[in-house]
Amino acid sequence: MAMDVLRDAKALERAGRSIIHLELGEPGVAAPRRVREAAAESLRDGSIGYGEALGDAPLRARIARHYGERYGVDVTPDRVIVTTGSSGGFLLAFLAAFDPGARIAVTAPGYPAYANILSALGLEPVLLDVGEETRFAPTAAMLEAAHRARKLHGALFMSPANPTGAMIARDELARICAFCDEAEIILVSDEIYHGLEYEMRAETALRFSQRALVINSFSKYYAMTGWRLGWLVAPAELMRPLERLQQSLAICAPTLSQRAALAAFDAGDELEANRAAYARNRALLLDRLPKLGLDNFAPPDGAFYIYADISRFTDDSIGFCRRMLHEAGVATTPGLDFDPRRGAKTLRLSYAGPEADVREGVARLEAWLRR
């Protein structure tokens, strides 16, 4: 639905309307300068052919090194596969790890593409409702209860999460990993928003489990959405199946993007400046939204989202967001995109854009809500 909102917003802009975009989870900045320079150098070199299915060796080695530098976790390059964004990583992981009919636990609210991809592959998404009682994060006890009710084959969790921004606490993540290992549930940990944390540090599932499949991307923290590049860290026994799937489905991740991404790990100053800008936008929304009556939202620990309860205004989030777009010129995403059972009373706002846009968006919302 976020993409549908974007389509409608773009149509209004083409008609001459001024629209503030708070709907998309996309950094409002360009890829780091070092990345763009590395890409330009590769283009001047002119040799942009097929690469290895598992990814370019220098990039795989640098990703592996990243786990030691950031988390103090030892990962060897032979466990890393470079993918066409995190989306490509999910396809490879699901196909390699699960047989048709497997039941995979996912959270609601949660990233809608999870259930869509699982269903398209003949897998069954099992929705675990998370809310205020667990700070909108899954727990080991919740997972265990679902498994006892009917056997689970996998679990797919994101921390920090989309749409809520909520994070799984370190100790709880350890318990989840331990239960999954004990119950032979394959855990897929989506860590795409790592690096975008504000009050506590995100932890990788690889600290607690060597059986977990960990997916990350250059899209969010590294601001490289359109470069379509991510990675997957997997157990050794899955690497050959993953390689064969990659050979068949994509041949390789984009060569130009891989060469450029190698420079992203040396762009820390620019990337941290971006994170500081998101933090300012976050602080602005945390201050202003409660004054507009949007005072009940998930804990925005990380990422760049506010997932707000709008039940005092409506029980139709789709219609509410449509009216907001057409009447106030502010694009947001209805909660039904993320939670088919309870999302009619919620919406997601993204604060990944420029600070001036976020300020203007809040001003327009205030005027619209107080009409």
**215-265 pLDDT per residue, tens:** 999 999 999 999 999 999 999 999 999 999 999 999 999 999 999 999 999
What pLDDT does residue 106 have? 98
Q: Is the pLDDT of residue 3 over 90?
A: no
Q: Is the pLDDT of residue 371 over 90?
A: no
Claim to verify: residue 190 and residue 236 sit in the same structural domain: yes
The CATH number for 312's domain is: 3.90.1150.10
Q: Are residues 163 and 84 in the same domain?
A: yes
Mean pLDDT, rounded, of the chain: 96
Give the pLDDT score at 117: 96
What confidence tier does 96 reach under pLDDT thresholds 50, 70, 90? very high
Do 229 and 303 lie in a common domain?
no
Considering the domain architecture, whether residues 213 and 68 belong to the same structural domain is answered as yes
Q: Same domain, yes or no, for 170 and 44?
A: yes
* pLDDT tens by residue, 264-323: 999 999 999 999 999 999 999 999 999 999 999 999 999 999 999 999 999 999 999 999
Query: What HEC string does the chain produce?
Result: CHHHHHHHHHHHHHCCCCCEECCCCCCCCCCCHHHHHHHHHHHHHCCCCCCCCCCCHHHHHHHHHHHHHHHCCCCCHHHEEEECHHHHHHHHHHHHHCCCCCEEEEEECCCHHHHHHHHHCCCEEEEEECCHHHCCCCCHHHHHHHHHHCCCCEEEEECCCCCCCCCCCHHHHHHHHHHHHHHCCEEEEECCCCCCECCCCCCCHHHCCCCCEEEEECCCCCCCHHHCCEEEECCHHHHHHHHHHHHHHCCCCCHHHHHHHHHHHHCHHHHHHHHHHHHHHHHHHHHHHHHHCCCCECCCCECCEEEEECCCCCCCHHHHHHHHHHHHCEECEEHHHCCCCCHHHEEEEECCCCHHHHHHHHHHHHHHHCC
Which residue, 265, 295, 329, sits at the end of a domain? 265
CATH of the domain at 59: 3.40.640.10
pLDDT higher than 80, residue 31: yes
pLDDT in tens, 37-85: 999 999 999 889 999 999 999 999 999 999 999 999 999 999 999 999 9
pLDDT tens for 100-127 read 999 999 999 999 999 999 999 999 999 9
**pLDDT at position 161 over 90:** yes
Same domain, 289 and 321: yes
Total domains in the chain come to 2
Greatest extent of the chain over all pairs of C-alpha atoms, in Å? 60
The answer on 285 and 150 residing in a single domain is: no
Domain range for 126 is 33-265
pLDDT confidence band for 4 (50 / 70 / 90): confident
Pair (234, 255) in one structural domain: yes
Q: Quote the pLDDT of residue 24.
A: 87
Q: Looking at the structure, do residues 16 and 163 belong to the same domain, yes or no?
A: no
In this structure, the answer to whether residues 185 and 291 fall within a common structural domain is: no
Q: What's the pLDDT tens digit per position in 171-215?
A: 999 999 999 999 999 999 999 999 999 999 999 999 999 999 999
My answer on whether 98 and 220 are in the same domain is yes
Q: Are residues 54 and 108 in the same domain?
A: yes
At 6 the pLDDT is 86
